[in-house]
Amino acid sequence: MAIYTDNNKGVEITLEPGESISAEPSAFCYSDGFITAKTTTGGIMSAVKKLVTKEKLFQVLWTNKGDKPGRIGFASPYLSTIEEVEVSPNYSLIAQRGAWLASDPTVKLDVTMNLGMSGFLGGEGIIFQKFTGSGRVFITAGGDLKAINLERGETLNVDTGCIVGFAESIKYEVKLAGGIFTSIFGGEGLVLAKLNGPGIVILQTHPENVINKVVSSGSTQTSANFSNIDLSDGLQANELGTIARNIFGNRE
């Protein structure tokens, strides 16, 4: 069971005795004392792929070692939203780099590369995360999320930065945004992604690069993730409490 905060920037997951969940190392926020952590690489070949593609090498497996249900909370990066997606043997998910927050152990996380011209030209780059198997996948994205179901033969043009993920059945390619003049001076960049159905497409309203530009244009001390908080920089306990309440809400 997963319980989301009002703004979907945090999620609390209930683990039954003996049940586990895998998560991105910096995603952890809190858990009951009988839930333990074990660091894994996901296998030798998976580790090699991550090193080559500069993905994070490790993931954490959290397991309920108690005799009753336990809770564990994960937080998404600042200004991003968490979405739960179900994968199955008939439904695999392709997602942008860094989208993965957590997933059931029955879900396999792999790295796939788009070596065609669409990979080199598209704003999402040539590296994607691929989820196969069966179970829940919790992904993060900037701003609000929108899922669009494309029928067979139906197409959708999207700013490449707005793509969070799509079903493996979706054909992904890029194209010029109008003519060269339009591409350069129209404010939409040089290329757009063309997604061909059938399958689900998940979009975000605020791509990470846009958020980073907004944050960097303001205070350079703004932290985007709990893992970046350094108490030596003078952040006090009451400020940490304010951050936590903003994400998870006041539980009093």
pLDDT tens digit sequence for 137-186: 999 988 888 999 999 999 999 988 899 999 999 998 887 665 554 445 55
Please determine, for residue 232, whether its predicted confidence score (pLDDT) is greater than 50.
no
pLDDT of residue 216: 63
pLDDT of residue 244: 41
Instruction: Please indicate, yes or no, whether the overall pTM of this predicted structure exceeds 0.95.
Output: no
The pLDDT of 216-226, averaged and rounded, is 46
What are the start-end ranges of the E strands in 6-151?
A: 10-15, 20-23, 28-31, 35-40, 59-64, 70-75, 80-87, 93-96, 100-103, 107-113, 127-133, 135-142, 145-150
Please state, in angstroms and rounded to a whole number, the distance separating the CA atoms of residues 24 and 102.
Answer: 6
The residue ranking higher by pLDDT, 42 or 65, is 65
Domains within the chain, CATH numbers bracketed: 2-228 (3.60.160.10)
CA nearest neighbour of 21 among 77, 63, 83: 63
Name the band, by pLDDT with cuts 50, 70 and 90, for residue 223: very low
N- to C-terminal Cα distance for the chain? 22
The residue ranking higher by pLDDT, 96 or 222, is 96
Q: Which two tokens stand for residue 211?
A: 């958020």
pLDDT of residue 91: 92
Name the band, by pLDDT with cuts 50, 70 and 90, for residue 213: low
**Mean pLDDT comparison of 77-91, 147-161, 197-211, highest-scoring range:** 147-161
pLDDT of residue 11: 93
Mean of per-residue pLDDT scores for the chain: 76
pLDDT of residue 240: 39
- What are the Cα distances from residue 251, in Å, to 144, 211, 237, 244, 248? 24, 28, 17, 10, 8
pLDDT of residue 160: 84
- What are the Cα distances from residue 94, in Å, to 6, 72, 82, 101, 240? 27, 26, 16, 14, 35
The pLDDT of 96-118, averaged and rounded, is 81
